[in-house]
C-alpha cells in the first residue's frame, strides 16, 4: 500500500512526529551531541595523522644523521668488515675506537628508546636500519661489549631481541 498525504491520518502524523525532539532544548542537545561526536572523531584522526608525521620526522632525522655522520660511518665500516676485536680489550690505545663504538651503539640505543616510547614502529626501524642492526647482532665482539652492564646499553639488546636479530 502506498502512502499519500491524503491517506495519512492525524494519528499517524503524530506518531511519526513523536520520534523527533519536541522543543528547542531537545534540538540543541541533539545537535550538541552530534557536533561533539564529530569533534571526537576529528581529534582522533588528527592525532593519528600527527603521530605519523612525527614518526616520519624522526625517521628522516635519524636516517640523515646515521648516513651523514662520518664518525658513525667509520664504525659502520669496521663492523661490516668484522674489525671489532678492539671491543673485547678495554685499553688506553683503544680509547678512540671504543668512543666511536659507543657513539654508534648510542645511536641505536636512542632508536630503541624511541621505539619503546612508541615514537617509532618496529616495521619502520627494520625498514630504515635492518642491515646495520643485523651486523651489530652478528658481531660477537660488539654484542659482548654491549652486554657489559658497565657500558649502560639497557634498551638496545632488548630491541635486537624483539626484532628477532640476528637473522
Please give the pLDDT value at position 94.
Answer: 85
Please give the pLDDT value at position 114.
Answer: 92
Judge contact between 107 and 93, C-beta under 8 A: no
Judge contact between 136 and 143, C-beta under 8 A: yes
Q: What is the pLDDT of residues 106-127, one digit of tens each?
A: 999 999 999 999 888 999 999 9
Please give the pLDDT value at position 30.
Answer: 79
Please give the pLDDT value at position 11.
Answer: 61
Please give the pLDDT value at position 78.
Answer: 95
DSSP type of residue 7: T
CB atoms within 10 A of CB 95: 11
Please give the pLDDT value at position 35.
Answer: 81
Weakly modelled stretches of the chain, pLDDT under 50: 1
pTM beyond 0.75, yes or no: no
Report the half-sphere exposure of 151 (CA within 13 A, side-chain side): 23
Distance from the Cα of residue 19 to its chain's centroid: 47
Judge contact between 79 and 104, C-beta under 8 A: yes
Please give the pLDDT value at position 2.
Answer: 55
Residue 33: in which H helix or E strand, if any? helix 24-68
Cα-only R_g, the chain: 30
Please give the pLDDT value at position 16.
Answer: 56
Amino acid at each position: 500500500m502506498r502512502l499519500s498525504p491524503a491517506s495519512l491520518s492525524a494519528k499517524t502524523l503524530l506518531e511519526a512526529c513523536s520520534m523527533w525532539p519536541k522543543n528547542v532544548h531537545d534540538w540543541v542537545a541533539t545537535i550538541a551531541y552530534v557536533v561533539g561526536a564529530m569533534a571526537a572523531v576529528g581529534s582522533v584522526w588528527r592525532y593519528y595523522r600527527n603521530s605519523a608525521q612525527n614518526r616520519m620526522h624522526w625517521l628522516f632525522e635519524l636516517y640523515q644523521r646515521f648516513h651523514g655522520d662520518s664518525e658513525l660511518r667509520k664504525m659502520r665500516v669496521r663492523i661490516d668488515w668484522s674489525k671489532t676485536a678492539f671491543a673485547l680489550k678495554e685499553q688506553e690505545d683503544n680509547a678512540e675506537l671504543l668512543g666511536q663504538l659507543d657513539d654508534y651503539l648510542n645511536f641505536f640505543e636512542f632508536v630503541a628508546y624511541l621505539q619503546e616510547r612508541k615514537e617509532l614502529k618496529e616495521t619502520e626501524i627494520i625498514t630504515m636500519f635492518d642491515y646495520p642492526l643485523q651486523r651489530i647482532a652478528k658481531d660477537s665482539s660488539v654484542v659482548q661489549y654491549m652486554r657489559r652492564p658497565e657500558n649502560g646499553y639497557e634498551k638496545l639488546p632488548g630491541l635486537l631481541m624483539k626484532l628477532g636479530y640476528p637473522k
